[in-house]
Every structure is written in structure tokens, then in C-alpha cells.
Amino acid sequence: MTSFIRAAEIWLPASDHSLLEFGAGAFGKALSFATVSRAMCFGRAEGLPGEAWDLGHPVLLKQFEGSHFRRTSAAKAAGLTCAVAIPFFVAGKLTAVVTLFGSDDPASKGAMELWRNDTRISSDMSLLDGYYGGLPPEFERLSRDAFLPRGTGAPGMAWQRDEAVIMGQADTNARFLRGDAATEAGICRAMAMPCCATNHASYVLMLLSGRETPIARRMERWVLDRAGAQLVLAAGHCELAGDLAQSGDVIKLLDADPLLTKAIGCGVPALTDASKRLPGSEACLWLPVLVEDKVTELVALYL
């Protein structure tokens, strides 16, 4: 199974915060791109990770040519055509930048969207930018014309709740406002996640895909319990098991991978081995969701 997210990277600030250095990555078949990436570093405002760091909010690239992206040739050779960089901040200090890469090859069908609300401009959330690989123009037009009040649609729910929203059957979910268009476009998987920002705006990353190239092999939402002693599986979708209801699955932090405890305690994204939980998966990417500088949950994407 090939997922819409073809590669993921974690970039970490150097000890003196002068550079972003390669921290970890899952690259699938993009081995040459991996080799180039592992040897790189980025200054502030340099390249895609550095731009997200400097601007203080997520940055989406629909194409690499003509942008700040520094690995265009290697990405093109690997079949990568779009990317989003997601910075993470605690108390205004950068902890990491995650980059996710997608592809628009004939077998791929999916979208990356960046939604924003700036209270100085509007009370609604609107599309800041989007990439629509293999999707009809009507779906993109509908998305660009949308204005979502707080709590409306998947981006609006993520914004209102300060939590991730995972939909395994978005095309038939009444809370997904583009259901008819999604059905016609072959879109059925959706994930919306609130993102960190240092400016006055709120941002939500939306990932969409079809069944043949799902966003990830498995998506999970793990919530920190009130005592802060364990993570509880709250929702998710697996391409093998289907929708994941509240099953009672827990991860006790005392027994957890040190990278997970760091993600909870310091707001640093993590890549861990996923082979035991989902055979055939290269890695699991853990993305912290922060509310008032505290991690309240982790989004897990199995790549």
C-alpha cells in the first residue's frame, strides 16, 4: 500500500538555535532524496523548514520550482511534488519543524490544505492555500470559496476544539461539508490538526485522500489523561482494521518510548518504529497538539 504522504522529516534546532539540523526521517522509496536531506541544515528563513521557522506558522508548497525549496532536483527524481512544513513552538521557542511530502503521480489522489483564521480580518476560517493532486477543479474551487465559522466543517471543528479530527469516511460524514464533492472526487479520508503559530492567526492543516492512496496506513489520536500519566487512544482509522473507536488502549508514560515522553514533556515531534503495532509500516510520526504551550494530545501517522 502506498500512502499519500510519501516522506516525512523532523528538523531540530541546533544547541545555539542558529540552524535547523536533520533529526529523523521516513522516506519510503525516496532513498536518494533521503541521502540529500540527511546532509543538510537550514538557517532561519532558509529553505522550506527555515521559512516556517521564520514566519512562525505552517507553510505549504504546491510546487517546488520558483520557491525557497533547496532540494527541487532530488524531490523531482523521487516523484515528490508538494510539501508542507509545520513548526512547533513552546512559549514562543521553536522545538522542531516537521515536513510532509506528497506526490501527484497517476496512482495518487489527495490534497493538502492550510486553513487560517485571522481575527483582525474575519471571524471565519478560510483557505490560505491548497494542493489538489489528481482532484477535479470543482473540488478545489469549492474549497477556495468556503468560509467556515468556528466549529463548522473539519477545519472549524479542529479550530474550536483545539484537537485533531480524523474521519475515515469523510464523504459520508455529515460534519464534512464537502461530502458530495468529495464523493465525486474519490476523497474519503480526512485529518484536520490545529497547528502552532507565533502570530495573531489560528492555523489548521487538513489532509485528504482516496482509498487507493490513503493519507497514511493508520491515523490515531492519543489524548493525555487528566493525571498526565498515560495516553489514551481516542479515535483513529486504520486501512486494515477500519475506524478505531475508543478501545481502552493506553500507553503508560513510565513505560513509553523516551521519544514519546519527550514529545509530551517538551513538544518535540517524534518518529518511532511502527513494525510491532502495524507490520509493513516504516515508521510512526507523532505530532504534538499544544494548547497554551502544553501538549494535550498526539496525532500518530503510520507511514
pLDDT category at 277 given cuts 50, 70, 90 is confident
pLDDT category at 68 given cuts 50, 70, 90 is confident
- pLDDT at 17 exceeding the cut of 90: yes
pLDDT tens, position by position, 71-84: 999 999 999 999 99
Share of the chain above pLDDT 70, in %: 100
Lowest-confidence region among 133-137, 152-156, 243-247:
243-247
Can you tell me whether residue 52 is helix, strand or coil? helix
Q: Which residues 6+ apart lie within 8 Å of 30 measured at CB?
A: 6, 7, 78, 79, 80, 101
Predicted TM-score (pTM) of the model is 0.96
**For position 66, what pLDDT does the model report?**
87
Residue with cell 521557522: 53
**For position 14, what pLDDT does the model report?**
98
pLDDT category at 204 given cuts 50, 70, 90 is very high
**For position 107, what pLDDT does the model report?**
72
Cβ–Cβ contacts within 10 Å for residue 249, how many? 14
- pLDDT at 111 exceeding the cut of 80: yes
**For position 157, what pLDDT does the model report?**
98
Over residues 86-98, mean pLDDT: 97
Over residues 57-61, mean pLDDT: 98
Query: Position 167: which residue type?
Result: M
Handedness of CA 120, 121, 124, 129 (dihedral sign): negative
- pLDDT at 228 exceeding the cut of 90: no
**For position 35, what pLDDT does the model report?**
98
pLDDT category at 26 given cuts 50, 70, 90 is very high
- pLDDT at 208 exceeding the cut of 80: yes
**Measuring CA to CA, which residue among 92, 163, 156 is closest to residue 124?**
156
Share of the chain above pLDDT 90, in %: 91
pLDDT category at 1 given cuts 50, 70, 90 is confident
**Measuring CA to CA, which residue among 244, 60, 111, 246 is closest to residue 167?**
244
pLDDT category at 105 given cuts 50, 70, 90 is confident
